[in-house]
Structure 1
């Protein structure tokens, strides 16, 4: 969304909300933003009802998405928005929210920089410095950069990403000054929550299988609890929709029917269909009957059943019997 398009939407939204509410909102905005929006409002003569309604709806969706992200993170928001808006619209809203968050965070230039140039710059930095910078980057770009490091450094950087819980403006400012020719000075006034298992999982979900295996192997020796937490999060139950049909069928052969019925409680129709379409008509009918007979189930029990199925999927992947899509293409060997 261009800046002017965004400002015009904001102006139309304020017009639609009425003078009293808009005045309260305007008082909370920075002076330069107030001036820009006021100019837009002054230059709007007429707003079509359908245009007004569309902008109001978009505002409500973005507000709802932001609330979900604050409550439970991106994956939580995505799951709820999928049910409320459908997969395509939910993706558009989440993508927009991600872009807004990226623009508000430090190291903006690093996120826009050429990955190879950035890798060359970071190769001479300390692992803790590289880890902090990667925490602020897009997961796929961070994965590409991480995979370019020597194997022993990959594991050390990954370990630091997984154990970072927060950082301070002073630390960010110090790092930005060290590499001031590459990064902008976008330091927040409050401590930033960065890194952690979720960030590392997002990065590892985008790296190649060999890079992931190397990092996990070393983490199993150095930080076994962290390694176990990462392995359980790398592939979620909802990701089963990304598997090939033949691979889903292989998974279902190794899954207990009671666990499968429990795991499907409360999931989206897309996930249920990914399962049902790989069962015979008789098996599907039997599974649905078991789900109905089971009645309400505790969320913890459902999540435990889903983790059992994820464990089966990961095991089959490690054996090479199924294929989990990775961020990098697998090498072709003869």
Structure 2
């Protein structure tokens, strides 16, 4: 007697469910009664290894009984219930060949555009408390620039683990993504909406950083006298070309390593001796000689606005590098002291 012939109907049903695999079998199990599930579990425990030939016999027997209608479905209503509970409205329409209007679900607004604009430090703090796989999913939903800014703030071991998981990430189920989106709404965006003023500080700082140094100092003095809150936080985001003298030597070397000699030369036109020396002492000897030679020829033919634009360009580079963690701005060091 073959294995298939010796098996009970319950064991055969259990064997078919096991062969179907977890995703498909789990969809069917919810239609069994409690006592039927118990019988299936007991039947599965008594199963032994079934070869391919016996499994095919069991499947063929099931197909024959299904075709004959061996009491598997009570009525058309039962079939409707199973279809409606198992398939989406779109799948039902496709199955029945009928174009049925489907009312669009109105869920909460997407979180990712808001996460894109979140302060990188706050986003990094949120991700640092999460599992690396969760953090990898969040960053994979962001633009490369926003994801990079957050990664640069994280500690190197955490950053490396997240990047590895991003590289090997497969398709994430929608239900998992939805759970993470709910957590972001509840913990990151809600907190940001009530307490985080960094976005406003960034906007104000970007405006103030466009001003000349003397005008910037005047505006900051007026804001302090008027009792504007969070002035220290605002100061930590400000930087002018003239503030280069307050950077550490290491920070100045890092800054001017990526700036062309032409731009440096233009920015140093009409600069004070102290500022000029602070810049020139941070670059190589050959580049220094070239810049000093250019400066020695005078600045009569150079427009004032060109000098201003060059200085603002270098200041913007310093702000960007500080945000990326290359060094700290002197205003940030003062506020932390």
Same fold (TM over 0.5): no
> Max radius of gyration: which structure?
2
TM range (shorter): 0.3 to 0.5
TM-score (norm 2): 0.32
